[in-house]
Amino acid sequence: MAIAAAISVPLTTPSRRSLSSFSNTFRSYSSCFPLQTKTHKLISNSIRNPSFSIISASSMSVEAPEKASAASFLDRKESGFLHFVKYHGLGNDFILVDNRDSMEPRITPEQAVKLCDRNFGIGADGVIFAMPGINGTDYTMRIFNSDGSEPEMCGNGVRCFARYIAELDNLHGKQSFTVHTGAGLIVPEIQEDGKVRVDMGEPILKASDVPTKLPANKADSVVKSKLDVDGVTWNVTCVSMGNPHCITFGVEENQNLQIDELKLAEIGPKFENHAMFPARTNTEFVQVFSPSQLKMRVWERGAGATLACGTGACAVLVAAVLEGRAGG
């Protein structure tokens, strides 16, 4: 059973059909999910949508945990099934669940961990819930990371969320709506071509608000400060885009970081869980090619190595300007 099929826009929605019909329709896609596993199977249909090319409805049957009510995990409308779709923004992928009838997530953080497992689950960087709006907003977005933690917000996640809402509500043309997140109000805008534009807001630089315990060295901010990680001194700048980011362009004695040579799986967790970051941190390792060309690799708090990070890209640009590496 195929998990996702790309369409010709930056955010992609899935198409899931039976294994036999899928092989005839999307021959170029090879990422498949077993039709039957020990704990769950996929059953699905796809529905054509003239504005967004493909919109899909998918179901996953799941064994309910002991001592848990069925409503906490199983779809309330069809007992035994969790309906979901899967989107990605530049490879940063999410399972999206229509939760608009309740402020209680359909699944628990522990169950999200299982669903995000790329070998035994669906596979994703996180699970996003579309919920009723609060405080006058149209919708609420909540996210469980692949480790079960809950971030304040996610840039690519917001873009995927916006496209999902547009398809759920059958919106056409240029549209915008308000979304309540853990980082505050976000107003995504669906463009005429189907792309999503999101104003990420102003960066937060005050050290205590990022938050980081590193001492401020430029007004109230941490800019090109020294951070010791396993005996190696890195120069870092700390920025919050509603969630914390630590950006580094290299170690103290070598500021020309070659990020393709970086052992991200080894160094990433050491930054994420460093004592200087009380709420943990996302970390961006950046290589500068020119003042207008930067390349980054990201280790996301709660998700590990991901292919892209929207808030991270914003934080990198802010840090590059603050350090005099970009702009100007």
Q: Which of 40-44, 152-156, 311-315 has the lowest mean pLDDT?
A: 40-44
Final residue belonging to a domain, choices 139, 166, 198: 198
Say which residues have a Cβ less than 8 Å from residue 36's Cβ, sequence separation at least 6: none
The pLDDT of 66-79, averaged and rounded, is 44
Residue 80 confidence (pLDDT): 67
328 in a structural domain:
no
Q: Exactly one of 154, 160, 238, 246 is catalytic; name it.
A: 154
Active site residue 309: yes
Residue 178 confidence (pLDDT): 97
* C-alpha to C-alpha distance for 292 and 161, rounded to whole angstroms: 29
Residue 123 confidence (pLDDT): 98
Assign residue 229 the CATH number of its domain. Answer: 3.10.310.10
Q: Which two tokens stand for residue 126?
A: 């996180």
| Predicted confidence (pLDDT) at residue 14 exceeds the cutoff of 90 | no
Active site residue 154: yes
> Are both 192 and 290 inside the same structural domain?
no
54 in a structural domain:
yes
Quote the radius of gyration of the chain (alpha carbons, Å): 21
pLDDT (tens digit, 9 = 90+) per residue, 306-315? 999 999 999 9
> Are both 188 and 247 inside the same structural domain?
no
Residue 31's domain spans which residues?
11-198
3 in a structural domain:
no
The pLDDT of 10-30, averaged and rounded, is 31
* C-alpha to C-alpha distance for 222 and 233, rounded to whole angstroms: 15
- Residue 311: CA count within 13 A, CB half-sphere: 28
> Are both 138 and 169 inside the same structural domain?
yes
5 in a structural domain:
no
284 in a structural domain:
yes
Residue 256 confidence (pLDDT): 81
> Are both 25 and 135 inside the same structural domain?
yes
> Are both 95 and 25 inside the same structural domain?
yes
Residue 29 confidence (pLDDT): 26
Whole-angstrom CA distances from 66 to 37, 63, 73, 74 are 20, 9, 11, 13
> Are both 139 and 232 inside the same structural domain?
no
> Are both 159 and 248 inside the same structural domain?
no
Q: Exactly one of 238, 246, 309, 314 is catalytic; name it.
A: 309
167 in a structural domain:
yes
Q: Regarding predicted confidence, which is higher, 297 or 68? A: 297
Predicted TM-score of the model (pTM): 0.77
Q: Which of 72-86, 186-200, 235-249 has the lowest mean pLDDT?
A: 72-86
Residue with tokens 């990201």: 298
> Are both 182 and 219 inside the same structural domain?
no
What total number of domains does the chain contain?
2
Q: Which of 49-63, 106-120, 187-201 has the lowest mean pLDDT?
A: 49-63
Say which residues have a Cβ less than 8 Å from residue 247's Cβ, sequence separation at least 6: 236, 237, 238, 239, 283, 284, 286, 315, 316, 319, 320
* C-alpha to C-alpha distance for 206 and 161, rounded to whole angstroms: 29
The pLDDT of 296-307, averaged and rounded, is 98
pLDDT (tens digit, 9 = 90+) per residue, 165-197? 999 988 777 899 999 999 999 999 999 988 999
